[in-house]
Structure 1
Amino acid sequence: MRYKHVFFDLDHTLWDFETNAVSTLQELYAEHGLEKRGIPSFGEFYASYSVINDKLWDRFRKGYINRNDLRTKRFSMTFLEFKICDDGLCDAIGKRFLEVLPTKTALFPHAVEVLDYLQDKNYPIHLITNGFEETQRLKMKHSGIHDYFTHIVTSETAGSLKPHRDIFDYAMKLSSTSASESIMIGDTLDVDILGAQEAGMDQVYFAPGQTQEGVTPTYTIHSLQELKDIL
């Protein structure tokens, strides 16, 4: 086998973050009566939240804000879009979001099938994620995929964030492997793919929707099932 160790991203690659986040936020929108607070529809709420959350995650990866800033500002800034200033409401929804989201179980099509396939082929499977340690492990346990992974490397444990090379080097050292024997599978060109390239690893760009440009990966797939043609 050309590759001896397989590394996955979690959110948007195996665990369907968008589906699970929508389900969670719909619950919170109803639970906290946000329509009565001045947010006309869930669609408008989610659209604003998504834009703000993506921007904050980008700032977090670049080291401009810390974890607590990310967790609090994504809701306070969203509510300000609707002229709502309520620290208590923001704190309550932020806390509930972190409680409910990890219990959601939607995975991308063929995720379990491919993990079974790799396990049957005796590949050690590992995870490299920028998500928070406790939250990511809960997501994996509730969705039934936790035990497929030999090593789970989060930004907290590695002390580094993708796309920085340090987190990939940390993961490979922990897994007793080298870049030439490793392959990284992820959904984000400037985080998963660029980071793996900088670390010398081959990469699989998982693009179930529209393919982005700017970084040229080793492979591009549109379904996880296509990994069987590579590994």
Structure 2
Amino acid sequence: MRYKHIFFDLDHTLWDFEANATATLQELYAEYALEKRGIPSFDTFYASYSVINDKLWDRFRKGFINRNELRTKRFSMTFLDFKLCDDRLCESIGARFIELLPTKTALFPHCTDVLDYLRDKKYPIHLITNGFEETQRLKMKHSGINDYFTHVVTSETAGSLKPHREIFDYAMKLSGCTAAECIMIGDTLDVDILGAQQAGIDQVYFSPKPAVGIQPTYTIQSLHELKEIL
């Protein structure tokens, strides 16, 4: 076996963030009667939220905003797109989103099958995620994949965010492995793949689109393809 330890990203790699976030936001759109507040449809609400959330996560990874700012601004800025300004509403819906989202259970196809395969092959399986500690733990618990992982490294526990090398070094030290002995599987080129490259770790880019600019060690379109690599 070339690799002795497997590192996974969680969101968009194992746990279907888009499907789960969409379901959560649909509940919130109805629960807070946002149509009556001037947001004409869920689709327009979701489209605006998605663009703003992606931008704020990029700023968070770069250290320009903190966790609380991310959690409130993604809704306050979305509401401003619809000329809606309500601080109490933003705080309430932001807290409710964090409460509901981790209870959603959609995983990518073949997720548990591949995790079973890797466990049967005696690979120690770990997570490296930029998500928040409590939230990520709840996602894993509710979706039934909590018991697969030996170590769960979040940006909070490591004191660093992907793609910075420190979080990968922390994960390797915790797992007791070297860069040559492990491989990172993730969906984001400039976060998971670039970060692993900078730490000297081989990578698997999980995406339906080909890599551009950054060349990963492997590229897959389905988690099932990991069986051909590992």
Number of the residue aligned with 1:95: 95
Number of the residue aligned with 2:34: 34
Number of the residue aligned with 1:169: 169
Secondary structure of the 1:15 match is coil
Contiguous gaps of at least 5 residues in structure 2: none
Q: What is the RMSD of the two structures over their aligned residues, measured on CA atoms?
A: 0.5
Amino acid at match of 1:26: Q
Number of the residue aligned with 1:138: 138
Distance across 1 between alignment mates of 2:126 and 2:103: 21
Number of the residue aligned with 2:180: 180
> What aligned pairs does 1:41-190 form with structure 2 within 5 A after superposition?
41-190=41-190
Number of the residue aligned with 1:222: 221
1:25 aligns with 2:25: yes
Distance across 2 between alignment mates of 1:211 and 1:9: 18
Distance across 2 between alignment mates of 1:173 and 1:206: 25
Distance across 2 between alignment mates of 1:90 and 1:59: 19
Name segments (4+ residues, structure 1) moved above 6 Å.
Answer: none
TM-score when scaled to structure 2? 0.99
After TM superposition, give the deviation of residue 205 of structure 1 in Å: 0.1
Number of the residue aligned with 1:202: 202
Amino acid at match of 2:227: K
Distance across 1 between alignment mates of 2:157 and 2:172: 14
TM-score when scaled to structure 1? 0.99
Amino acid at match of 2:57: W
After TM superposition, give the deviation of residue 214 of structure 1 in Å: 1.4
**Identity among equivalent pairs (%):** 81
> For this pair of structures, how many residues does the alignment match?
230
Distance across 1 between alignment mates of 2:150 and 2:203: 19
Secondary structure of the 2:24 match is helix
